[in-house]
Amino acid sequence: MEIDATDRRLLTVLQKDGRITNADLSEAVNLSPSACHRRVQRLEDEGVIAGYVALLDARKMGRMATVFVEITLQSQAEDLLDAFERAVARVPDLLECHLMAGTADYLLKIMAEDTEDFARIHRQHLSRLPGVRQMQSSFALRTVVRTTALAV
């Protein structure tokens, strides 16, 4: 799919305000409302726009601790990777899980209420993940940059 400058302007505005009306969006990117609607529909149909969400404020939801967990598995056997990925997908409070290149096999991002809550998550969920050889947790002291917007 070809993404031109107008598509990029649309995507930039939509990433900042996914609830913007078509009329306001068309005005912001200098398109007619019908052309704007067609382009957004095409971007949705092609999967460039994967969906629309409400972004919650973690602190206002009582989640004060951002924890990054590096996990190294006992082996890289495909069946072990599959079992780990199925199990980790069921961990509550997990925001992200990435298969990594480097020293750790996986990097997890977890939001917890505090250190005690993370200890509970670790005890009830992380320590039960299959095939884990080593786990290292790091608590974020402060978030310097946070965005969901891709550079377009």
Domain at 91, CATH number: 3.30.70.920
Structural domains counted in the chain: 2
Range of the domain at 24: 5-45
pLDDT > 90? residue 1: no
Same structural domain for residues 72 and 135? yes
- Angle value at C-alpha 127, between 124 and 128, nearest 5 degrees: 75
Quick: pLDDT tens for 103-117. 999 999 999 999 999
> What is the β-pairing status of strands 132-139 and 65-73?
antiparallel
Phi, psi of 82 (to 5 degrees): -65, -45
Percent of the chain with pLDDT over 70: 100
Same structural domain for residues 29 and 91? no
Per the domain annotation, does 96 fall within a domain?
A: yes
Same structural domain for residues 72 and 128? yes
